[in-house]
Amino acid sequence: MSTEMGDIRHYENANILTNKKGEELVIDLGSIDTQSLLMEGEIQTYTNILSAREMDSLTALCDTILPAVDPPENTADESLVRFYKTSASMAGTPEHLGRMISHRLRHHVFLIRFLLFMLSTRLGTFVFGGIHSLSICFPFFLKFSELSLEKRQHILLSLSTSCFILFRMAFVGIKLLVLLAFFTQVDESEENPSWEAIGYCGPDPDFVSKKRNESSQSLGYITPKSYHSSPTTEVQAQAQAQSKYDLYGPLYKGIISVKYPQEILTESLKRCGIHVSVNRKKKNSEKPKITIQCDVVVVGSGSGGGVVAGVLASAGYKVVVIEKGDYYARTNLSLLEGHTLDHMYEGAGMISTRDLGVNILAGSTVGGGSTINWSASIRTPPHVIKEWANVHELEIFDSPLYKEALEVVCEKMEVQSDVSDEGFNNAVLRKGCLELGYPLVDIPRNAPPDHYCGWCCLGCKDGRKKGTCETWLKDVVNSGNGVILTGCEVAKVLYGRQKGRNRDTAKGVMFDITSNDHQSSCVIVEAKATIIACGALNTPALLRRSGLNNKNIGKNLHLHPVVMAWGYFPDSEPLSSLLSDNQGDQVWPQKQKKSYEGGIMTTMSTVVADFNDSGYGAVIQTPSLHPGLFSALMPWTSGSNIKHRMTKFSRTAHIFALSRDVGSGIISTSPFDISYMMDPIDEANLKKGVEKMLRILAAAGAEEIGTHHNSGESINVKKATYHEFEKFVKRESSKEIQGLSTPVASAHQMGSCKMGVDPRTSVVNQMGESWDVEGLYIADSSVFPTALGVNPMVTVQAISYCTAQSVLEYLKRKKK
């Protein structure tokens, strides 16, 4: 869309804009952002602001981690030869990474840039590299880029094991960034030079083919004026609406982007039945003020906000949902790992705790985590319900309402446990557990049995995964009572004291917007009830910025820390067989299966869960790892070693241990400022998990197994003796997990605004209402009293369903 717009004329179902060239364009109201639709997921480019000295160091670091090396002997595959002989700088990674650091990295930027500057000097290189930076020739001290590859690699390895935490942080940060950048960057054809060599196909080939066919159809949202000049029959109109639904998903009528020009934004809201007023009078440098009035404002559209919005809109209340992220309809997905991390994950997928001890993944798009999660739909475990009801005295969890909530949300998401064809990682986990007699549980999923898709962590390509976009948010749109504003980051919650009240009352929220035509406005959303549902990372930060002083806000953060183990299953030789359906022996694992394909989670083991005793332990599940995250997790001991590991990517299975953590952390006024301390109990449970995982992988038939510990040790199971194997398992499972020696990850964040019965120890009451502000509710995983121990989506939705009933009662009282 041109940013230079002229007159705007309003028609029944559209606005016609005349640009300065006199060209008329038609824009459907209440539809998704026209620009992003037409761009079809075009990759955003950023400028690189790093200095020449910093880039010199960054280039040397990239070529140290991923240098050009000789391929193994007798390597005939041209793609493999190319991969080994291509350095990171030859692929343009330094420049790509420079742009990431300049614009997408949200924390520890100073540390990275300080490292780059220091390594661009001789003295700084000596500080980090010691004797490895010295030369027998003048000038005797060399800067990092002047050193040989061998010396540069020695320096990086010494940083990884340094006694100084900042040195270890520098290594972990730069290793993660370089590998993530190299294996996710794509050219104009959306290809990566390494993918063929490592056995990765990129985006789902079926989806890419379908997308090409659909993009050739003339169904844009910016069309010639003639689009509306001739009448259409009812049948044609229905067919057109169905085509748009198929192409752009179920929410296209209810999404309104704040990037629209101000007139389009306000008109779109009015046509959706939302009252809007604009104060154009400017005092000094004040921005124009847009005031939106509704019954309920919901901040966040994930598993918490989506449920509340759907329930309230269906009950007839006017609901405005505000989402920081953008809407990516089915056909507008890229299914590219780098692009998706950049656009649909919080902090471009590069959030971590202050000490880089835990790497955190969280959704930041319409639908929140439910849009990019791994489909696991596990009900609140009975022992957790018992603990929350009895120990924490929260009667809501032992009530008929909570039981009803679990039934309602599972039915809404069409949760079921069958699977017609198991993916590679899950097949490995299942076989290993069966061989060892470990307990197995089929994971309920919000996807059908034949949903064989390993790309759901990058968005669901066909809408068969029932996240909030396909369920509760669809109710918001279909009810005609709500809209979803995208690209809005709420600055603060509005509240004030009314006469005769002993506490403040919520009045709505405020945020600033800048449209594509560069108009800046302050937007006030006035509402009778305010629901904050922006997740356990963003909700406490927003409440703190809004001036709430409850000392419990931001505390009690649980992360479900995860550690992984891997096993390599070559496809060049037959492995053990399984009897399948009484039809004879079937070679397993099937040669054609790849590690990144298939249902992401279909089975898990509770062998170290310890649910019957303390209720704390670890479950063993499977991850979704595409090349970028896979490479960032794998240990780095040399450039040739990491390339060798990556050539085995497609046949390397991963399983992980997820701990129900006793330890907790704190969030300040920023979701990127997180401190977390793992409890010794959690580390012990994870170590038990490492031992079981290694045994599972070996029992499943892996040729080689290992962990992600920075030592990079592994063992060839086929060649090792029993005693060698036992010694390896014992050694690896006893290694320290904390201290940046092993990557720890988190995909579940909870508890940072905990629910309780005492305002001195909690943030909200059993109804989900803030102790401090009347009419202010929290509906996301931040209200969990403790860590959950399993995937939280169903529990979040069930609690939010109960909170929605409380909001309904509150709104009824407001009418009286």
Q: Which of 107, 154, 654, 748 is catalytic?
A: 748
Q: Cα dist. 485→260, 291, 309, 525 in Å?
A: 11, 14, 13, 11
Beta-bridge mates of residue 26 = 16, 223
Coil vs helix vs strand at 289: strand
Bridge-based pairing state of the strands 714-716 and 520-532: unpaired
Q: Cα dist. 237→31, 213, 216 in Å?
A: 16, 22, 20
Instruction: Please state, in angstroms and rounded to a whole number, the distance separating the CA atoms of residues 669 and 541.
Output: 4
CA angle 470, 448, 401 (to 5 degrees): 60
Which region, left, alpha or beta, applies to residue 512 given φ > 0 means left and ψ of -120 to 50 means alpha?
beta
**What is the three-state SS of 486-548?**
ECCCCCEEEEEECCCCCCEEEEEEEEEEECCCCCEEEEEEEEEEEEECCHHHHHHHHHHHCCC
Residue whose entry in the numeric block shows the structure tokens 């909870």: 750
Helices (H) and strands (E) in the chain, counts: 25, 28
Instruction: Please state, in angstroms and rounded to a whole number, the distance separating the CA atoms of residues 126 and 411.
Output: 62
Instruction: Please state, in angstroms and rounded to a whole number, the distance separating the CA atoms of residues 80 and 86.
Output: 10
| 206-210: Cβ within 8 A, 24+ apart | 207/333, 207/335, 207/455, 207/461, 208/335
CA 268 to chain centre: 30
Q: Decide if 532 contacts 296 (C-beta within 8 A).
A: no
Q: Encoding tokens for residue 239?
A: 């067919």
Q: Decide if 650 contacts 596 (C-beta within 8 A).
A: yes
Coil vs helix vs strand at 704: strand
Q: Encoding tokens for residue 450?
A: 């034949």
> What does the CA dihedral 442, 446, 449, 450 come to, rounded to 10 degrees?
-130
Instruction: Please state, in angstroms and rounded to a whole number, the distance separating the CA atoms of residues 473 and 754.
Output: 25
Q: Is 451 a catalytic residue?
A: no
Residue 164: φ, ψ to 5°? -95, 120
**Of 673, 708, 783, nearest to 351 (Cα)?**
673
Single-letter residue type at 315: A
Q: Decide if 380 contacts 341 (C-beta within 8 A).
A: no
CA angle 725, 653, 184 (to 5 degrees): 130
Core vs surface per residue 746-780: b (16+ CB within 10 A) or e: bbbbbbbbbbbeeeeebbbbbbbbbbbbbbbbbbb
Handedness of CA 697, 698, 703, 705 (dihedral sign): positive
Task: Give the total residue count for the chain.
Answer: 816
Active-site positions?
A: 748
